[in-house]
Amino acid sequence: MLGIPFTVAPAGVEERMHPAESPRRYVERLAREKAAAVAAAHPGALIVAGDTIVVLGGRVLEKPADPADAAAMLAALSARAHTVYSGLALARGKTVATGVAVARVVFHELGRDLIDRYVETGEPLDKAGAYGIQGYGSALVREIEGDYFTVVGLSVAAFVTLLPELGLEYRPGEGVVGR
């Protein structure tokens, strides 16, 4: 979307919350660990890594284990507000800049039939909180407070804000350039 060429490189980092770790700290730590793991294999490249979770009433909803777990998450989110935390880490050489973007999302009331049909699409199975706002899951959302791209999983605003910490900036039509 921003015209920046990229290559996907899985980090292989275990995604497990530490005891007493806050949601904000958790996603920021995971993003940093992912960036560090990929940066080690790609010295000199700009590494962009992130992690996103959904928090409902203090409970962290990551990717569902299976379709039944996805349906349970969606039923819990029905007609309620939840918070999305999206951690971002940019690495270039040994320099790492991190940030966390937060958005509040409210779902429509979801009937069992809608939940089942949505789960059958397969879309929720690899998404934090069991929904993808950028796909079919957009029909589940009543309102958003905050950045849409935070809910998608990579805050463009955070990305652009962190670039100067690495001596870079985003220029429309040019991409990421040195300052």
Three-state SS sequence of the chain: CCCCCCCCCCCCCCCCCCCCCCHHHHHHHHHHHHHHHHHHHCCCCCEEEEEEEEEECCEEECCCCCHHHHHHHHHHHCCCEEEEEEEEEEEECCEEEEEEEEEEEEECCCCHHHHHHHHHCCHHHHCHHHCCCCCHHHHHEEEEECCHHHHHCCCHHHHHHHHHHHCEEEECCCEEEEC
Tell me whether residue 69 is one of the annotated catalytic residues.
Answer: no
Each residue of 68-86: pLDDT tens digit?
999 999 999 999 999 999 9
The alpha-carbon radius of gyration of the chain (Å, integer) is 17
In the set 51, 66, 116, 126, the catalytic residue is 51
Q: Could you tell me how far CA 90 lies from the centroid of its own chain?
A: 14
Average pLDDT taken over every residue of the chain: 95
Tokens of 51: 């992690």
Give the pLDDT confidence score for residue 179 in this predicted structure.
Answer: 80
Is the pTM for the entire model greater than 0.85?
yes
pLDDT at 138 over 90: yes
